[in-house]
Amino acid sequence: MREVLRNMFRRKTRTLLTVFGITIGIFAFTVMGSMAEKINLLVSGGTKYYADKVIISGSESLFLTAPLDLRKKAQIEAVDGVTAVSATVYTTLSEKFDAVSFGPPASIVGGERAIEEKYETFKITYSAGRALKDDDQGKVVVGSDLVKKLDAKVGDRVKVRGQDYEVIGIMNKTLTAPDNTVVMTLTEAQKIYYGELPEIVRSSSKPQNVVNGFTVYVKEGVDPNQLAQKINDEVPDVVANGPKAFQDQIASATGIFNAILFGVALISLIVGGLSVINTMTMSISERTREIGIKKAIGAKTRHIMGEYLSEAALIGLFGGLLGWGLGALTVTAINTATQSSGNVIFLLSARISIFAIAFAVILGVIAGFYPAYHAVKINIVKAIREQ
């Protein structure tokens, strides 16, 4: 191993440049992979959440918040296949849409807790305190990513849209939308949402009648996609979406996003791999005589191959560790900087870390294989004559 290290640093500048080539690739892979990891977990959480229910809103999009009349609830409940309906209000935590958000923005959610507790399959657990109940006026539960932003502790008061609320629970990390959410009672969320509506809408309704969504729990054996279609047919002026709509709107878009991210990282890695091939080929052509002598005194294929593959693998390992380290620092720095705004962009998971470093080593070995094979095939007699 000592010999391999010494050989690596015979040409320090060349080796370091190659290591940096890999470093850039692995850095890009780590950062972009962490971003993709975060998105994937958000999407997988969303997929899980939407899997068994129908979401009703006032517009075609799942995430636009057009007002709906609470009285629609009875019409929806009357549709065959519906078990229960929870009225929901969803709005942004910030009054102004002032930050570019990665994933769903920090938000306020109000719903009918008793119904949700009974029918919701996406269970939330609490790191402190307890779940919200329908009569918990003036109280909120805070998602894990917003704890720092709101400086929330159970028993303390936090300011949400200018109002003081008592924190009664902190949710455990779900790695998806609830992490970025403040949950309050439906009536209090309605008041906030009502205040946001244009005067013309407010003049024709009351806060207690305005919501912007319904969560429909489906009877056992009923296909939520078919039920969504049925609701659309039977209940006027609402848009019902089943799990397929989420897949169509979000999951497929993130697939393209993932492909772009990994494509960029892959290109960087191919460049890194080519620079390993170049370095190893140069290195072998400089050491032809040495290889000849080693073969003459008994070096077998595995000795020569092992020597050069170890060198290439070490270049990969150093590049990988450096790239991963820089990536981890960048990801942590950005996450720390954006955490106060409740916007966590990256998730550097163990699998991304292990994969990044292992991939760098494997890339080194693959890139080093051709030059090493070339070294093995060197003709001893010709090599020894070389000066």
Partner 1 sequence: MAAETILKLDNAMKIYILGGRKNAKKAQKAIQKLQKAHEKLSAKGQNAPAAQLKETLKQAQLLFAQEKYEDSYKTLTGKTLKKRRDRGAVVHALNGVSLDIKIGDLIAIMGPSGSGKSTLLNMLGLLDQPTAGQVLLKGQNVELIKRRHLPEIRSKELGFVFQSFNLVPTLTALENAMLPLKYSGIRLGRRRQMAKEALVQVGLGDRLNHRSNELSGGQQQRVAIARSVVNSPSIVFGDELTGELDSKMTADVMSLVKKLNKKGQTFVIVTHNPEVAKVCRRIIYMKDGRIEKEVKR
Q: Which residues bind partner 1 (CB under 8 A)?
A: 3, 6-7, 10, 289-290, 293-301, 303, 380-381, 384, 387
169 and 141 in contact (C-beta within 8 Å)?
Answer: yes
129 conformational bin, left if phi > 0, alpha if psi -120 to 50, beta if neither: left
Strand-pairing partners, residue 211, are 68
Least Cβ distance, residue 379 to partner 1 (angstroms): 9
User: In this structure, how many other beta carbons lie within 10 angstroms of the beta carbon of residue 109?
Assistant: 21
Least Cβ distance, residue 10 to partner 1 (angstroms): 6
Least Cβ distance, residue 143 to partner 1 (angstroms): 57
277 conformational bin, left if phi > 0, alpha if psi -120 to 50, beta if neither: alpha
Q: How many CA atoms lie within 13 A of 386 on its CB side?
A: 16
Least Cβ distance, residue 364 to partner 1 (angstroms): 20
Least Cβ distance, residue 287 to partner 1 (angstroms): 9
Task: Give the three-state DSSP class for 97.
Answer: coil
Task: Give the three-state DSSP class for 175.
Answer: coil
Least Cβ distance, residue 363 to partner 1 (angstroms): 25
Which CB sits closer to partner 1, 172 or 301?
Answer: 301
Least Cβ distance, residue 311 to partner 1 (angstroms): 11
Exposure string of 175-210, with b = 16+ CB inside 10 Å and e = fewer, is bbbbbbbbbbbbebbbbbbbebbeeeeeeeeebeeb
User: In this structure, how many other beta carbons lie within 10 angstroms of the beta carbon of residue 101?
Assistant: 18
Residues 154, 155, 156, 158, Cα dihedral to 10°: 70
Which CB sits closer to partner 1, 147 or 304?
Answer: 304
Cα–Cα distance, 11 to 14 (Å, whole number): 6
Least Cβ distance, residue 277 to partner 1 (angstroms): 22
Which CB sits closer to partner 1, 16 or 380?
Answer: 380
Which CB sits closer to partner 1, 38 or 295?
Answer: 295
Which CB sits closer to partner 1, 137 or 301?
Answer: 301
Least Cβ distance, residue 278 to partner 1 (angstroms): 21
| Closest C-alpha to 241, from 49, 44, 62, 87 | 62
Which CB sits closer to partner 1, 269 or 376?
Answer: 376
Q: How many CA atoms lie within 13 A of 85 on its CB side?
A: 25
* DSSP one-letter code for 293: H
Which CB sits closer to partner 1, 133 or 300?
Answer: 300
Burial of 121 (0-12, 13-18, 19+ CB in 10 A): exposed
Which CB sits closer to partner 1, 219 or 303?
Answer: 303
Which CB sits closer to partner 1, 86 or 283?
Answer: 283
